[in-house]
């Protein structure tokens, strides 16, 4: 059974473990703990039983949000987990009065770009050389969050 809920400091080690597997530039466990404690972020996790299978990190300031991460373990991709996480992000946006979501995504991450486009994001531009390890451009995307939006 899959569940989606707020992730806390106790989940930081599991999130960091997935970070190391998924990203070439992983966040540290301590960095994740600090993010959870910051009060500016909402961290959501998806579990299959007791196993963390994905997570989303959303930063909010006033009426804008930035998706810092949506990540899903490789064995659970293309099974709707990212959609569940994004649905929770939209709920948080509604709760916090967020009307615009932004994100950066690696230019080579075609599956993520496609996912975000299906969610209604549009491309705003390119940030040259934004990523390192390996050096790569970032595609800037945004979404106006209508009231009551559901995925």
Active-site option among 19, 55, 116, 131: 116
For residue 59, indicate whether it is catalytic: no
Contact indicator for 93, 12 with CB cutoff of 8 Å: no
CB atoms closer than 10 angstroms to residue 23: 14
For residue 104, indicate whether it is catalytic: yes
Active-site option among 19, 55, 66, 104: 104
The CA–CA distances, whole Å, from 109 to 23, 49, 124 equal 11, 29, 16
Q: Which residues have a catalytic role annotated?
A: 104, 116
């Amino acid at each position: 059974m899959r569940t989606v809920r707020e992730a806390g400091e106790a989940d930081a080690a599991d999130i960091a473990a997935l970070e190391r597997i998924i990203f070439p530039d992983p966040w540290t466990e301590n960095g994740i703990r600090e993010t959870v404690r910051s009060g500016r972020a909402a961290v959501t996790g998806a579990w299959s039983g007791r196993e963390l299978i994905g997570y989303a990190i959303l930063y909010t300031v006033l009426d804008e949000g930035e998706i810092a991460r949506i990540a899903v373990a490789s064995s659970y991709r293309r099974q709707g987990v990212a959609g569940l996480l994004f649905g929770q992000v939209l709920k948080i946006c509604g709760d916090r009065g967020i009307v615009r979501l932004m994100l950066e995504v690696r230019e080579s991450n075609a599956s993520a770009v496609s996912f975000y486009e299906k969610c209604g994001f549009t491309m705003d531009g390119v940030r040259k050389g934004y990523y390192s390890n390996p050096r790569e451009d970032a595609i800037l995307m945004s979404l106006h969050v209508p009231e009551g939006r559901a995925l």
